[in-house]
């Protein structure tokens, strides 16, 4: 092959391109190396501060599930009965999730309208409302739940309020992104005929945002079921506290724990599937 002689300008361009390519590759390599060493360091630190350690624990990972499953298998006939006995606790967990999603969606929706500069009746308050949403979103639900358990006593109400608080912030942010993109023409049309703020929001904005809002709320409901199970484990009521009791009984009663595990797993899968279908229909249905 014969090399085609390049004009001086073209070879300059080639050299410049290669230099910038080399520089970019070097930067990416440094970034990658830094990231990899950060990951490795984190792993070592976490491993060091964990009682068992990764390599010691790894062979035992399957011991507990195996024991659980074998005990559950021995009394497989009694399993449906045990699961049925846990149903009230499960209903409580689902109720916590549903009520907190409803309350959080209501408060989040209101705050989202107040946080949209084009829709709010008080534009000056928009930054304030946005900061409120940031803070409600940032506080983990366990913090509020544990403090409220101290004040209100145990039971489902502290968990419900805690999750509703966090849901307000999380949904409020997502809702406000939808509301910001709402078409303002219907709002102007309604205000030109003298509609009040509530009428404008209810008749001009809600029909536009409802599918997306509902879809986000359903997604939150899935997340909140998991959250309410976890909060039950650390002190509020519901299936989480039953799980805690069941696993504290230890060997011989693992079938109980298996029943709770199974019930929780099935609930999460079923709710995820149902809500996934509903969300698909909500979003695709409006695209028609």
Partner 1 sequence: MTAFASDAARDHAAFRLIRAKRTAAIAAPLLILAYLLYAAVAFDLAGVASRSRADNAVLLLQDFWSYKTHVTRPNRGRDAGEIIAAIEGSRNMTYAEGQLPGWIEPAPGGAVVELQGDVTVRFLPDRVLQVDLPEHAPLRIATTPDAIVLEGWSGPLPDWISASDERVGLTLSHGARVAVTQSKSEVFRRTPGWELFFFTLDSEWYPLSWGERLAAAVTQPGAAASMAHDFWTNKVWHHGDVAWAMVETVLMAFLGTIGAALLALPLAFLSARNFAPNFVARFATRRGYDFLRGVDALIWTVILSRAFGPGPLTGALAILLTDTGSFGKLFSEALENIDGRQVEGVRATGARGILRARWGVIPQVAPVILSQVLYYLESNTRSATVIGAIVGGGIGLLLTQAIVTQQDWEDVAYYIILIVLVVIGMDAISGRLRRRLIKGA
Q: Is 237 helix (H, G, I), strand (E, B) or coil?
A: coil
The rounded distance, in Å, linking the Cα atoms of 124 and 209 is 23
Kindly list the distances between the CA atom of residue 52 and the CA atoms of 46, 47, 157, 251, in Å, as whole numbers in the listed order: 11, 8, 36, 20
Query: Smaller CB distance to partner 1: residue 113 or 166?
Result: 166
Backbone angles phi, psi at 102, to 5 degrees: -60, -50
Least distance between partner 1 and beta carbon 12 (Å) = 26
Interaxial angle between packed helices 206-233 and 239-248, expressed in degrees from 0 to 180 and rounded to the nearest 10:
20
For 189: left if phi > 0, alpha if psi spans -120 to 50, otherwise beta; the answer is alpha
Query: Smaller CB distance to partner 1: residue 116 or 271?
Result: 271
The rounded distance, in Å, linking the Cα atoms of 9 and 203 is 65
Estimate the share of the chain in helix, then strand, then coil, as percent rounded to the nearest 5.
85, 0, 15
Query: Smaller CB distance to partner 1: residue 11 or 20?
Result: 20
Query: Smaller CB distance to partner 1: residue 182 or 219?
Result: 219
Q: Is 236 helix (H, G, I), strand (E, B) or coil?
A: coil
Least distance between partner 1 and beta carbon 127 (Å) = 15
* DSSP sequence for 42-88: HHHHHHHTSSS-HHHHGGGTTHHHHHHHHHHHHTTTTHHHHHHHTHH
- Positions touching partner 1 (CB under 8 A) are 39, 42-43, 45-47, 49-54, 57-58, 60-61, 63-65, 91-92, 95, 98-99, 102, 134-135, 137-143, 146-147, 150-153, 155-157, 160, 226, 229-231, 233-234, 240, 243, 247, 261, 264-265, 268-269, 272
Least distance between partner 1 and beta carbon 140 (Å) = 5
Query: Smaller CB distance to partner 1: residue 71 or 141?
Result: 141
Least distance between partner 1 and beta carbon 265 (Å) = 5
Least distance between partner 1 and beta carbon 122 (Å) = 24
Least distance between partner 1 and beta carbon 114 (Å) = 20
Query: Smaller CB distance to partner 1: residue 114 or 261?
Result: 261
Query: Smaller CB distance to partner 1: residue 126 or 234?
Result: 234
Dihedral sign from CA coordinates of 66, 70, 73, 78: negative
Least distance between partner 1 and beta carbon 159 (Å) = 10
Contact 214, 281 (CB under 8 A): no
């Amino acid at each position: 092959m014969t090399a085609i002689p390049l004009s001086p300008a073209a070879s300059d361009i080639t050299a410049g391109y290669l230099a910038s390519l080399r520089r970019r590759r070097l930067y990416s390599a440094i970034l990658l190396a830094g990231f990899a060493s950060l990951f490795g360091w984190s792993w070592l630190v976490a491993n060091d501060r964990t009682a068992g350690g990764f390599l010691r624990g790894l062979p035992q990972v399957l011991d507990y599930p195996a024991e659980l499953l074998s005990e559950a298998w021995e009394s497989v006939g009694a399993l449906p009965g045990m699961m049925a006995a846990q149903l009230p606790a499960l209903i409580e967990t689902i109720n916590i999730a549903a009520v907190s999603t409803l309350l959080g969606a209501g408060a989040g929706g209101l705050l989202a309208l107040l946080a949209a500069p084009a829709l709010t009746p008080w534009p000056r308050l928009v930054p304030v409302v946005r900061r409120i949403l940031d803070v409600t979103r940032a506080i983990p639900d366990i913090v509020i739940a544990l403090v409220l358990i101290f004040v209100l006593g145990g039971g489902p109400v502290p968990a419900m309020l805690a999750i509703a608080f966090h849901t307000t912030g999380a949904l409020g942010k997502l809702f406000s992104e939808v509301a910001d993109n709402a078409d303002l023409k219907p709002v102007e049309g309604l205000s030109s005929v003298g509609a009040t703020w509530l009428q404008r929001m209810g008749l001009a904005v809600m029909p536009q945002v409802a599918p997306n809002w509902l879809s986000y709320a359903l997604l939150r409901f899935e997340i909140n079921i998991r959250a309410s199970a976890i909060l039950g484990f650390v002190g509020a009521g519901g299936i989480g506290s039953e799980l805690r009791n069941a696993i504290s009984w230890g060997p011989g009663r693992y079938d109980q724990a298996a029943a709770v595990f199974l019930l929780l797993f099935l609930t999460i899968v079923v709710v995820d599937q149902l809500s996934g279908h509903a969300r698909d229909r909500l979003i695709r249905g409006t695209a028609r």
